[in-house]
Amino acid sequence: LSTKQCEGCDLTNAGLVMANLAGANLKGADLSRANLSRANLMGADLSGANLTGASLFGANLTGANLTGANLNAADLRDTYLTQANLVGASLTNANLLGAIGIPSYT
């Protein structure tokens, strides 16, 4: 958490509720089933990350790079997605209820 550098690391089932990961490098990380509820991921690089079944309820993903990320079955309720890059992201069965700033191309 202190370095915010975790490219390709295994954070499966991690408890990161309210974590401050603004600007973090989580490129290609395995965050499947991780709890990132209300986490600050503003400007984070989550490109190619596996977020299958992750809870991102109320998380701040403003300006985050989610290019090619797997968000299948992720809980994205009430998330902030303004200026987030979701090109090529998989959102099958993701819950986007109340999400703010969903890109029009998703």
Which pLDDT score is estimated for 105?
84
Q: Give the phi and the psi of residue 64 in degrees, each rounded to 5.
A: -75, 150
Task: Give pLDDT tens digits for 16-26.
Answer: 999 999 999 99
Which pLDDT score is estimated for 2?
80
The per-residue DSSP string of 12-54 comes to TT-B-TT-B-TT-B-TT-B-TT-B-TT-B-TT-B-TT-B-TT-
Asked if the model's pLDDT at residue 48 lies above 90, the reply is yes
Which pLDDT score is estimated for 67?
98
Asked if the model's pLDDT at residue 106 lies above 90, the reply is no
Does the pTM surpass 0.85? The reply is: yes
Q: Which amino acid is at 77?
A: R
